[in-house]
Amino acid sequence: MADDQDAITKLQGYGILDTPNEAAFDAIVHDAAHEMQTPIALISLLDENRQWFKARVGLAASQTPLSISFCTHAVRGAGVFEVADARRDERFSHNPLVTGDPNIRFYAGATLKTSGGTRIGTLCVIDTAPREGLSDQQKARLTELADRVVAVLEERKRRGKAVRLA
């Protein structure tokens, strides 16, 4: 979780925060948006105060505060976290991401878990219209894509693109 120092340290060890776009990550969010038929898809990484988007489709913002993050809820649970209609969910109905731009209604997020099980963020898909939810097949695919994000992070680190912590 974002408030877990071990998770923050693990995330920082990837040297990924605040880096430019990378084709491998961009391809994953494009696949997620296309396959889940949503206008927005994000790779969201959680640090001390924000969720930062390593890759995004359909959203201009590069980050949002943790205090309004859907992804902080997703990393706490098992499986794919879904919100069918954020306007009708008391956890989110007053959230500025729901009441204003980008007008989130549907959210589904699969946790990004490192090989050691540390939760560092999500691969999520968002719609501006309420939805019943993802099918079991779509949930499985979103989880596979989330695992692919972590595999790319691990490979990137192995190649030496990550910042070494003292």
pLDDT digits (tens, 9 = 90+) for 26-62: 999 999 999 999 999 999 999 999 999 999 999 999 9
Tell me: pLDDT of 164 over 50. Answer: no
Residue 163 lies in a domain: no
Residue 166 lies in a domain: no
Helix (H, G, I), strand (E, B) or coil at 99: helix
Residue 43 lies in a domain: yes
Of 1 and 77, the structure prediction assigns the larger pLDDT to 77
**CA dihedral of residues 63, 116, 35, 57 (deg, nearest 10):** 20
Residue 164 lies in a domain: no
Count of domains observed in the chain: 1
Longest dimension (CA), the chain: 47
Residue 130 lies in a domain: yes
Q: Give me the domain span that covers residue 73.
A: 5-158
Q: Write down the pLDDT at residue 5.
A: 84
Residue 165 lies in a domain: no
pTM for the structure as a whole: 0.91
Residue 111 lies in a domain: yes
Q: What are phi and psi of 70, to 5 degrees?
A: -75, -35
Residue 71 lies in a domain: yes
The CA-to-CA distance between both ends of the chain, in Å, stands at 22
CATH at 64? 3.30.450.40
Spatial neighbors of 144 by CB under 8 A, at least 6 apart, are none
